[in-house]
Structure 1
Amino acid sequence: MIEVTLLGTGSPIPDPDRAGPATLIRAGGQTFLVDCGRGVQQRLAAVGSGANALSALLLTHLHSDHIADLGDVIITRWVTTFTEQIPLQIIGPPGTKRVVEATLEAFGPDIGYRIAHHADLTAPPPVEVHEYTEGLVWDHDGVRTVVGPTDHRPVEPTIGFRIEHHGASVVVAGDTVPCAGLDALAAGAGALVHTVIRKDLVEQLPMQRIRDICDYHSSVEEAAATAARAGVGILILTHYVPAIAAGQEDEWRARAATEFDRQIELGSDLHRVEVHPGVCAKSRS
């Protein structure tokens, strides 16, 4: 079984009820955080986890809303680990190393203060960064993770992740329009976690800068069509733009159902879905 938790279902627009984009994947005793939007540490605490429990941090792309708390994750893991300091594995697209290095430099004064103050902190936070655009990126104790290209241009390269464990599989797409790379990555998966926007609502807004997001994100219907083409068992929607208004969940679900006739999941932060081998799933909020 793989457990998916929507830690943060928000967007670049600050929302008092939704943290920034972040998805927690638990499989085979391993814990993966996909993206680290604002507020991710509080959401991790809410599900009984934390930065020091992560097997790896997976980044779909380097847009600010998806990496806003990168520094917080790195530093918090460092200062809350009281055993051997094992490097945080960070897997992302090309450009990730530069962003991580710049983040550590920005936190340089803080790191220096803590090393000077605590005798058991003798070196900066250990991290290992791996950059990929496709292929196998993780294979440990029965859990495999494969990367595939997505399309969020002009943001490029961008990637999605497929996590597999004993016949169960989950794909986390990140921001993308429909594309062959995601179709291939998601083919036959148990679940697809996909970011979505309501283009019908966004296109009515007077600000061109906001309307611009329509050309490099998938609508609810487009995400559902991707899930249908790939033959996935469950479609899990997240990163809602605009935020889903109270009582409107069924309307969003109905839009997805015009293209995808299987299980559709959406909800608030901390919504969880259990993905079992085949197409069986159980949701919990």
Structure 2
Amino acid sequence: MIEVTLLGTGSPIPDARRAGPSTLVRAGGQTFLVDCGRGVQQRLTAAGAGANGLTALLLTHLHSDHIADLGDVLITRWVTTFTPDAPPLPIIGPPGTAEVVDATLKAFGFDIGYRIAHHADLTAPPPVDVYEHTAGVVWDHDGVTISVAPTDHRPVAPTIGFRVEHAGASVVLAGDTVPCETLDQLAAGAGALVHTVIRKDLIEAMPMQRIRDICDYHSSVEEAAATATRAGVGILVLTHYVPSIEPGKEDDWRALAATAFDRQIELGDDLHRVEVHPGVCRRA
């Protein structure tokens, strides 16, 4: 079984009810954080996890709303890990990830120096191992395999999606993208597809051109549903709602997805959980 928890279902626009984009994936005793938008630490705690328990951090792309709390995750993992010689945190993302991680650690340089000076058991900066990929298998440990493929969020490039597989169960995390063949291939036959979505019908009516611009590089609810149908996935999990879903309007979003996808559709508030089983998919 693979457990998916929507830690943050929000967008770049601050929302009192929704943290920034982030998803927790638990599989085979391993814990993966996919993206780390604002407020991810609070949501991790609410989900019964923590930065010091992460197996790896997976980044779909380097847009600010998806990496806003990267520094917080790195520092918190460092100062709350008490085992000697703790292994570095693997960070897997597209090209450019290493530069962003290096810059983030540099930005926290004063803080890191203060803590090393104050705590005798902290003798070096937060340990990380960064891996940059655009395609292929990027993780294969203890029965859990992760593959990546390019997605299309241009002019943001490169961007990637992740496919997590364990004991016959599989989950694909698309990140921000428009429909594209490489995502279809990555998601083919998966138990679940976690896909970011926008309501183009609502956004196109807004007066600000800068807001309307997002329509050309995100998938609408219907487009994400069509991707899920082409790929033949079992469950479509919607997240990163733009604009935010108004309370009581969840069925409207679900109905739009149902016009293009006739299987299980999941959406909800932060901390919504979905279990994905081999051949059997059910809501947690």
Secondary structure of the residue aligned to 2:17 is: coil
Q: How does 1:1-285 map to 2 (within 5 A)?
A: 1-84=1-84, 85-278=86-279, 280-284=280-284
Using the TM superposition, give the Cα deviation of residue 83 of structure 1 relative to its aligned residue in structure 2, in angstroms.
0.2
AA in 1 matched with 2:281: A
Provide the aligned length of Structure 1 versus Structure 2: 283
Secondary structure of the residue aligned to 2:122 is: coil
Percent identity, aligned pairs only?
Answer: 81
- 1:232-285 residue CA offsets vs partner (Å, 9 max, x unmatched): 00000000000000110111000000000000000000000000002x22223x
Partner Cα separation in structure 2 for residue 233 and residue 282 of structure 1 = 10
**Gaps in structure 1 of 5+ consecutive residues:** none
AA in 2 matched with 1:221: E
Partner Cα separation in structure 2 for residue 75 and residue 181 of structure 1 = 34
RMSD: 0.4
- 1:24-73 residue CA offsets vs partner (Å, 9 max, x unmatched): 00000000000000000000000110000000000000000000000000
AA in 2 matched with 1:187: A
Partner Cα separation in structure 2 for residue 210 and residue 220 of structure 1 = 17
Partner Cα separation in structure 2 for residue 167 and residue 81 of structure 1 = 32
AA in 2 matched with 1:256: A
TM-score with structure 1 setting the length? 0.99
AA in 1 matched with 2:93: G
**Gaps in structure 2 of 5+ consecutive residues:** none
AA in 1 matched with 2:29: G
TM-score with structure 2 setting the length? 0.99
Using the TM superposition, give the Cα deviation of residue 86 of structure 1 relative to its aligned residue in structure 2, in angstroms.
1.2
Partner Cα separation in structure 2 for residue 5 and residue 170 of structure 1 = 12
Partner Cα separation in structure 1 for residue 101 and residue 263 of structure 2 = 39
Secondary structure of the residue aligned to 1:273 is: strand
